[in-house]
A and B are shown apart, each in its own frame.
Chain A
Amino acid sequence: MNIPHLTFQDLLPVAPAGVLVVGAIVLLLSEVFLSTAQRTYQAVIGTLTALLAGAVAMNNAFEPARAALQGYVVLDPFSQWMTVLVCLGTALASLLSAGFLNHRNAERGEFYALILFSAAGMSLLAMSAEFITLFINLEVLSISTYALTAFLRRGPRPAEAGFKYFILGAFSASLLLYGAALLYGATGSTRFLDVGLALPQAFAQQPGLVYAGFGLVLAGFAFKVAAVPFHMWTPDVYEGAPTPVTALMSAGVKAAAVVALVRTFLFLVKGLSPEVPFIAFSALALLSMVGGNLLALPQRNVKRMLAYSSIAHAGYLLLGVAALFAPATAKGSDAVGLFTATPLLGSMPNVAASVYKGLLFYLLGYTVTALGAFGTIAALERREDETRSNTWDLERFAGLAQRKPGWAAAMAAFMLSLGGVPPTVGFLGKLYLFGAAVDAGLLGLAVAGVLASVAGVYVYLRVVVYMYMRPAPADAPAPFRHWTTEVALIASAVAVVALGVLPGPVTEWFSRAGMVFGS
């Protein structure tokens, strides 16, 4: 019996998740011992815990990349910055929830505790470097999110959304797990490091087993990031879930899944022909970018429209992932195609660092923007809307500029940022990400992405047009006011504009994320 010797250094990467879990336990206990009528303090505890965990993760982000806990997790800037983003999203989502739940008399400590557990799962998922660890953290994050989705028990929508999310989430997790089992059979290990080492030989002996495992793991991840054609659950789940939870799902869950996907496939592609992962990711990226934007076009329901838009954003992120796996062919072909990489300077530059920077900056932009956009929608919802079908219709935004100029300006900033219009953070994120893709020679795919996002701009501008150029209906209800909602919306609106104009040290910090363990 050999007990592994663990040092403080080993526990460093999981410290942010530890802070989140402790905060969640405090919240659960607060529901037992401090149950007062006024529960806004729980949102404040949730927010402060998330900010503290974010600070811990930010401190970790400057450590050199290395494996920890015997190679079951890794400590590298990429995953730690992702944790910072998740904590930022969690803090904003907790603040948004306070007003939202207060308005519905549903404020409970367990809601915030579930948000923090889910954030801990996201943080650990991003740093997992072993299949069972990955699976457990994926389930920690998913099970908390299923419960959050079905948290409100009024009206039929939340239970339906929770049910659909549960079925497809559990289905995708089983796909991933079976793929992991097959890869374990082929390589004899579940640790990514050992899997990567054993894969070339395993591929030579049993290519069928390796391909099946690769495909199943990829499909499992594609469900989680909601890439077309694995996106069917997204609109219904995003529409039915409580709006602050939708915001957390669209930003945090997706970010964690993308980072875990990158981490997993950095090791899984070893030994495979380089075209296979490249074409797989390019196809997913193309389908999601085009499909998400086209499906969003006919939507009058703004919440559902943002669900489709999140699919398109998953596509842009996958474009970055595809750039990461672009085959470095020495013989440069001049053909420009959707699924070919055309080296611009004759040889393939090493784009990994700029791709990681692009992915992180894009995720940062999407986190603050999506939280703000869904937060504005949440503030315009009425409690009595829960059984109606036109809750989130565009008409709800008509004339908002006259009634609430500040809110309309914030929402306009969020919409422009989602569309990628300067001077917002969404524009800079797209610039970095598409720039990295072009450097990697993905000309055809990058052009397709830009065209698709132009189609998306129409969708976002339509909301702005309704807010500024349509008269308000006579019976338009005023948005409810709660100081936490206003703080969250002001913070995200300021972040969207400020980071778009002056990214400041953030770009510099993210550049160091090029140090990814195993790349």
Chain B
Amino acid sequence: MSHTVPTANYLILAAVLFCMGMLGVLLRRNALVVFMCIELMLNAANLTFLAFARERGDSIGHLSAFFIIAVAAAEAAVGLAIVIAVFRSRGTVNIEEIQSMKH
């Protein structure tokens, strides 16, 4: 087992992906990019589950990843439909221009 990548490396990669996704959601302006950043965050969680499951050698983490992938796909279907509805009603997916309600 001396040639395998240590778990910590996976965890650091996952944390970096998660932070990239989080910053992207908060800072980016294009709705599709924001959407991709959310997927990145979910996959960071997936990678964390898998890294821990591999270290411990149990199956719950692997199963979790499957469920998360399935749920993320369902979410993407509805999310993309909503983005298309926004684009149809305004002709843009720029988040700063999607502000019709007063504060």
Closest Cβ–Cβ distance, residue A389 to chain B (whole Å):
7
Contact A160 B75 (CB under 8 A): no
Please report the C-alpha to C-alpha distance between residue A136 and residue B67 in the assembled complex, in whole angstroms: 8
Q: In A133-180, which residues have CB < 8 Å from any B CB?
A: 135-136, 139, 142-143, 146-147, 150, 153, 155-164, 166-167, 170-171, 174-175, 177-178, 180
- Give the contact stretch, choosing among A235-243, A373-381, A456-464: A235-243
Chain A residues within an 8 Å CB radius of B61: 184
Please report the C-alpha to C-alpha distance between residue A147 and residue B84 in the assembled complex, in whole angstroms: 13
Contact B38 A170 (CB under 8 A): yes
Please report the C-alpha to C-alpha distance between residue A166 and residue B41 in the assembled complex, in whole angstroms: 15
Does A368 sit at the interface, judged by CB under 8 A?
no
Contact A146 B71 (CB under 8 A): no
Contact A170 B101 (CB under 8 A): no
Binary contact readout B1-34 vs A (1 if CB under 8 angstroms, 0 otherwise): 0000000000100100010011001000001001
Chain B residues within an 8 Å CB radius of A319: none
Q: In A163-211, which residues have CB < 8 Å from any B CB?
A: 163-164, 166-167, 170-171, 174-175, 177-178, 180-182, 184-185, 188-190
Q: In B33-74, which residues have CB < 8 Å from any A CB?
A: 34-35, 38, 41-42, 44-46, 48-49, 51-52, 56, 58, 60-61, 63-64, 67-68, 71, 74
Contact A170 B48 (CB under 8 A): no
Please report the C-alpha to C-alpha distance between residue A146 and residue B85 in the assembled complex, in whole angstroms: 12
Closest Cβ–Cβ distance, residue B72 to chain A (whole Å):
9
CB-nearest residue of chain A to B51: A185
Does A132 sit at the interface, judged by CB under 8 A?
yes
Contact A163 B102 (CB under 8 A): no
Contact B49 A181 (CB under 8 A): yes
Question: Which of B44, B56, B89 gathers most chain A CB within 10 Å?
Answer: B89
Contact B86 A163 (CB under 8 A): yes
Given the interface contacts A156-B90, A180-B45, A190-B64, does A174 sit within 8 Å of B82 by beta carbon? Answer: no
Contact A150 B45 (CB under 8 A): no
Partner of B98, one of A136, A163, A389: A163
Closest Cβ–Cβ distance, residue A98 to chain B (whole Å):
24
Chain A residues within an 8 Å CB radius of B67: 132, 135-136
CB-nearest residue of chain A to B71: A139
Contact B41 A178 (CB under 8 A): yes
Contact A166 B63 (CB under 8 A): no
Please report the C-alpha to C-alpha distance between residue A189 and residue B35 in the assembled complex, in whole angstroms: 30
Closest Cβ–Cβ distance, residue A246 to chain B (whole Å):
13
| 13 further A-B pairs in the complex, CB-CB below 8 A; given A150-B85, A170-B79 | A147-B78, A150-B82, A157-B100, A159-B85, A160-B100, A163-B86, A164-B98, A174-B45, A177-B68, A181-B45, A184-B48, A188-B58, A240-B101
